[in-house]
Structure formats: C-alpha cells, structure tokens
Amino acid sequence: MKITYREAVRQALHEALAADPRVFLMGEDVGRYGGSYAVSKGLLDEFGPERIRDTPLSELAFVGAGIGAALGGMRPIVEVMTVNFSLLALDQIVNTAALYRHMSGGQFSVPVVIRMATGAGRQLAAQHSHSLENWYAHVPGITVLAPATIDDARGMLAPALADPDPVVIFEHALLYNFEGELTDAARAVDIRSAKVLRRGSDVTLIAYGGTVWKALDAADALAAEGIDAEVLDLRVLRPLDDATIMASVRRTRRAVVVDEGWRTGSLAAEVMARIVEQAFYELDAPPARVCSEEVPIPYAKHLEEAALPQVPRIVAAVRRLVGKG
C-alpha cells in the first residue's frame, strides 16, 4: 500500500493510542490544529483532550510533564515542533530522563517517547532547520532513532513505547510528504539494527534520516558510471549497530558517510572513527564524509541548497575514493 511518511506516522500514533489506554500524545498544537506537520490530524476528535493534549509554548515544562507521567506509569508521546526548540528542554531530557535508571540504581525507568522534526530544505532559516541528532546520540541512557522509510516511520513507534527507557525519534521534515510502499516489514521493525537498503560491491554509502534518499539517488547516478554503491541506513543512532556497519564496509572496502549535521563533532566523525578502529586493515581507501557546511542554515534557497549535502557532492566524494575523481 502506498502512503505518505506523514500518514505512516499518524497510523502508528493511532495504533498506539487504540491499543493502550496509558498512551497519550502531548505537545504544541497537536490537538485542534492537528499538529505542526498535520501528523495528529483527526486524533483529537477520536481520542479526546485527555489523550491528545495541547500544551503551553514551553518545551521545558511539557517535556518535564511527560517525564513525570512516564515515572507515574503512563506511556507519553511528547512531540517537540523542531529539534532547535528541543534545546529548551535539554535539561529535562539529558539531566533527568536519561539518568534516572542509573542514578536510582535501577529502581526507576522513564518510558517516554519524544518525537521531533529535524533537518533543513524548507527555507525556514537557522532556528528551524538544524540537524542536532548527534547531540542526543552522544548521551548514554537514551535510544535515538531516525526513521527514513515508510516502514520505519510506521513501525518504530511500537517498540519505542515498549522500551522501558527514553527514546528520542527524529523525523526529517522533508520526508513528511514523501510517498512510498508500506510493507509487512513495518510490523517487524526493531530499534537496534541498521539496514542495508541497496546492495553494492565498490563503496558503502552510510546515511540516516533525510540523507538516506540522497544516498540512494547518488548510488543510482554512480551505477551509470560503473560504480556499484551499497547504501546503509543507520536508522538507530544510539546505540550504533557496529556489526552491520563493519560487515558492509568489509564487503566494499570503502565508506562515505553522509550526514546533514556539521562536520565538526559530527555523527559522521563517530562512524568514521569506529570504522578505522574496527576495520582499518580491510580498507582500500580512507573513509570520507559529506556533511553540511559550517554555517547556520541560510534562508535563501540557493544558499540553503549549497550548505546541505547534495547528490553531486556525494557522487564526487565516491569518485575521489575509487580514483575516478
């Protein structure tokens, strides 16, 4: 069945709310407005204001309330409008939710799911367009997910809600209108594994979230030049699936990491470091990365496009790696 990414997320929310009375959705404009990205449209009419809760414009307050509800036995899904705004709740997520199990000696868990939009490409300027997934992937105590496909958008919420510890889900804003096939694989999604989306033999393109589809397009362009690229969707940013990453890199002997975050301190840097630590002697070339330029994301369309990883830059990086650049 062909549906949009937005509808896949909405179906996942609907299923969770229908299946478990402890589940509720809270956040800015999730109720009457139907969500900033129309993901929760219609849910208020069906489930009512007790379970679809519009909140004040205070991320610190409503994320904290979600954490408290989780400690009290509920299963809250907290929606933050954009990753930039989540910084206002960083203390609640990093200093509270992520630490409770450790600091309580295992007596408490915080089964909260925090969803937020991330990424650029919509001309919303710097305060609505950054990719800060790596900030959260740095923190022990939370699981960090980045669904890029329809199946993952549909299937990752259920195991996230079943997890006894905090899970942060990043939904790239450009993907909401993306259409694709919803398959039976959505019923068996796990939140621990990376996934090879395209098999190849010459180079592994490692991507996540909004960069996955650029990596797939780059692989198609490279195929026309006789370069066979494998595409690996990380999907889970913490904990990273080292086994799947290394198995792919050992097959192709080359790796390019595509990351919409900035190059300095990026998730791409972490992935490259692990490849060098674990598979150095099996590489035919140094790992490479394609990241966003080191600037706040611009508003002007041509500058925004220039600042972000794009297919030609990925193709050029691979050409250099295989000696055709």
Instruction: Tell me the catalytic residues.
Output: 59, 128
Q: Of 40, 257, 322, which Cα lies nearest the Cα of 157?
A: 40
User: Which residues are CB-neighbours of 312 under 8 A, at least 6 positions away?
Assistant: none
Question: Distances from the Cα of 159 to the Cαs of 40, 101, 112, 144, in angstroms?
Answer: 19, 19, 12, 12
d(CA 266, CA 269): 5
d(CA 199, CA 168): 29
Count of other CB atoms within 10 angstroms of residue 285: 14
The pairing of beta strand 167-172 with beta strand 143-145: parallel
d(CA 242, CA 276): 12
The DSSP-derived string for 261-272 is: EESTT-HHHHHH
